[in-house]
């Protein structure tokens, strides 16, 4: 069945881009609402359901367009909802960003667990992949093939001794998501963070909300890593957050190499548009309902140099 949170909760913290304080109020929502965001610092801003098509920027984080207004860094929130099995929720944000918190989905997940989860009356819909779909973009790849579960194998390769090549497979399970994926933090290199600061970007970025790596000293965070392979686990968290925008529960086996928010978003659109490569079913196996698949839309500005293969 579809699920929402049992009661509203509030999350406060600074934004990654601006370094300013923001508040997000997360409230229960009726069946078939999906995950909807709005800005409450602007009058007459209605809730907008997030989809891969209202992603307006993927620089540093995933930014969505809510009635012409940006809300940035939504991906750890959307990952927390998908991961904890929340289908429907309203999120009202006090400005241009949701709080970055500790750079993972930990605090959002803990709040969901504290608020409780409410089963609703209507069944969930699952996008079940029936044929492979893949994309390739500047050496980054994402592919999905049929599978009985939803699982992601991610490979990253950074030419740095602290990270190097990491490959990790996570088979999605609502009961393990929090501890296995949800608490993995984002990461960056000190020299890159300093370059972003000099451009007026990532003003809120610090050791409080990211693993920061120095070329000589390695991980600068005193507490160290939460997992030896926290980096690849965070890339999987990001992928959950970006693919959650598809709006269905997912069934398929993903293999991704070096993908980030941009390629994740292109993949989400490509998958939705590959209408002969999946079926939409209700969650129970007894009755299969095929729906007309999502309407085709152009790739827009993301189309350049992307090889798409969907059969
Ligand atoms: Zn992230």
Q: Name the pTM for this structure.
A: 0.90
303 token code pair:
């189309």
pLDDT higher than 50, residue 290? no
CA 104 to centroid of ligand 1, rounded, Å: 7
CA 61 to centroid of ligand 1, rounded, Å: 7
Q: What is the pLDDT of residue 141?
A: 97
Looking at the chain, the domain(s) classified CATH 3.30.230.20 span 3-119
Which of 157-161, 179-183, 286-290 is least confident?
286-290
CA 12 to centroid of ligand 1, rounded, Å: 18
Q: What is the pLDDT of residue 261?
A: 95
Report the half-sphere exposure of 30 (CA within 13 A, side-chain side).
Answer: 0
Question: Which residues, 6 or more positions from 264, have their beta carbon under 8 angstroms from its beta carbon?
Answer: 142, 238, 239, 242, 243
Q: How many CB atoms lie within 10 A of CB 38?
A: 18
pLDDT higher than 80, residue 291? no
CA 205 to centroid of ligand 1, rounded, Å: 12
pLDDT higher than 60, residue 285? no
Q: What is the pLDDT of residue 153?
A: 98
The arrangement of secondary structure in 3-119, i.e. its CATH architecture, is: 2-Layer Sandwich (3.30)
CA 100 to centroid of ligand 1, rounded, Å: 9
User: Residue 310: pLDDT band by 50, 70, 90 thresholds?
Assistant: very low
Span 230-263, pLDDT tens digits? 999 999 999 999 999 999 999 999 999 999 999 9
CA 274 to centroid of ligand 1, rounded, Å: 26
Span 161-205, pLDDT tens digits? 889 999 999 999 999 999 999 999 999 899 888 888 888 888 888
State the Cα–Cα distance between residues 255 and 236, nearest whole angstrom: 11
CA 296 to centroid of ligand 1, rounded, Å: 28
The question of whether 261 is a catalytic residue gets the answer yes
Is 130 or 196 the better-scoring residue by pLDDT? Answer: 130
Mean pLDDT of the 194-222 span:
88
Span 23-64, pLDDT tens digits? 999 999 999 999 999 999 998 889 999 999 999 999 888 999
b/e per residue 292-307 (b: at least 16 CB within 10 A) = ebbeeeeeeebeeebe
Span 82-95, pLDDT tens digits? 999 999 999 999 99
Please state at what angle helix 106-115 crosses helix 75-83, rounded to 10 degrees.
40
State the Cα–Cα distance between residues 300 and 284, nearest whole angstrom: 36
CATH number of 125-310: 3.30.1700.10
Sheet (strand 218-219) strand order: 187-189, 211-214, 218-219
Residues 76, 178, 234, 261: which is the catalytic one? 261
pLDDT higher than 50, residue 304? no
C-alpha distance from residue 55 to each of 64, 201, 252, 261, 262 (Å): 4, 19, 23, 10, 10
Looking at the chain, the domain(s) classified CATH 3.30.1700.10 span 125-310
Q: What is the pLDDT of residue 305?
A: 39
């Amino acid at each position: 069945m579809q699920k929402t949170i049992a009661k509203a909760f509030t999350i406060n913290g600074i934004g990654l881009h601006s370094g300013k304080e923001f508040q997000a109020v997360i409230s229960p929502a009726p069946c078939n609402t999906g995950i909807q965001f709005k800005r409450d610092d602007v009058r007459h801003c209605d809730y907008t359901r997030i989809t891969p098509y209202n992603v307006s920027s993927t620089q540093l984080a995933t930014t969505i367009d809510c009635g012409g207004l940006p809300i940035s860094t939504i991906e750890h929130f959307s990952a927390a909802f998908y991961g904890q099995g929340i289908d429907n929720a309203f999120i009202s944000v006090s400005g241009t960003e949701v709080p970055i918190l500790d750079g993972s989905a930990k605090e959002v997940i803990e709040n969901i667990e504290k608020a409780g989860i409410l089963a609703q009356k209507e069944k969930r819909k699952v996008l079940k992949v029936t044929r492979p779909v893949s994309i390739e973009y500047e050496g980054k790849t994402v592919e999905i093939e049929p599978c009985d579960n939803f699982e992601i194998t991610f490979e990253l390769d950074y030419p740095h001794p602290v990270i190097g090549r990491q490959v990790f497979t996570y088979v999605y399970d609502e009961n393990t998501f929090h501890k296995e994926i949800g608490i993995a933090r984002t990461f960056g290199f000190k020299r890159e963070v300093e370059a972003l600061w000099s451009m007026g970007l990532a003003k809120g970025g610090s050791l409080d909300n990211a693993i920061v790596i120095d070329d000589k000293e390695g991980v600068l965070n005193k507490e160290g890593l939460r997992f030896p392979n926290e980096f690849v686990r965070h890339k999987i968290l990001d992928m959950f957050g970006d693919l959650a925008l598809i709006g269905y529960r997912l069934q398929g086996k993903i293999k991704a190499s070096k993908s980030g928010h941009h390629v994740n978003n292109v993949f989400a659109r490509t998958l939705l548009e590959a209408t002969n490569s999946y079926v939409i079913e209700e969650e129970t196996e007894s009755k299969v309902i095929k729906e007309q698949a999502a309407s085709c839309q152009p790739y827009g500005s993301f189309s350049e140099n992307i090889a798409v293969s969907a059969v």
